[in-house]
Amino acid sequence: EVQLVESGGGLVQPGGSLRLSCAASGFRVDINYMSWVRQAPGKGLEWVSIVFSGGTTSYADSVKGRFIISRDSSRNTLYLQMNGLRVEDTAVYYCTKDTARGWHVDYWGQGTLVTVSS
């Protein structure tokens, strides 16, 4: 059974850093496409970043240069290192397992809340 469990969210001041983790089970993160999607309170979904099975990464323009997506095959865990956080980064961050054929999310984690505030 596929499971995704995010952790690492919390309250951080503007300009600060935070690292989110997503522990996966039921499949291997290093041979699948994995993404982060976020949702600001009361707002819609926003695509954030993806890491492909070959290791190529991509980012939304809103986070490029500040966020880094990575994975650890030994821990079967996906990460999102978030630097230079801004108030507008406040959101629930979802870890997702994506299809390798096309472009859609097959599985979602439960999400972890990141609040950026002074």
Partner 1 sequence: QSALTQPPSASGSPGQSVTISCTGTSSDLGNYNFVSWYQQHPGRAPKLIIYDVNQRPSGVPDRFSGSKSGYTASLTVSGLQAEDEADYYCSSYAGNNKGVFGTGTKVSVL
Residues that bind partner 1 (CB under 8 A): 35, 37, 44-47, 50, 52, 56, 58-62, 94, 99, 102-106, 108-111
To the nearest whole angstrom, how small is the minimum distance from the Cβ of residue 58 to partner 1?
Answer: 4
Residue number with CB closer to partner 1 (104 or 118):
104
To the nearest whole angstrom, how small is the minimum distance from the Cβ of residue 74 to partner 1?
Answer: 26
Cα–Cα–Cα angle for 89, 113, 7, nearest 5°? 115
Distance, CA of 5 to CA of 57 (rounded, Å): 21
To the nearest whole angstrom, how small is the minimum distance from the Cβ of residue 28 to partner 1?
Answer: 21
Residue number with CB closer to partner 1 (25 or 58):
58
- In the sheet where 67-72 sits, what is the strand order? 3-7, 18-25, 77-82, 67-72
Q: Both tokens of residue 92?
A: 């629930």
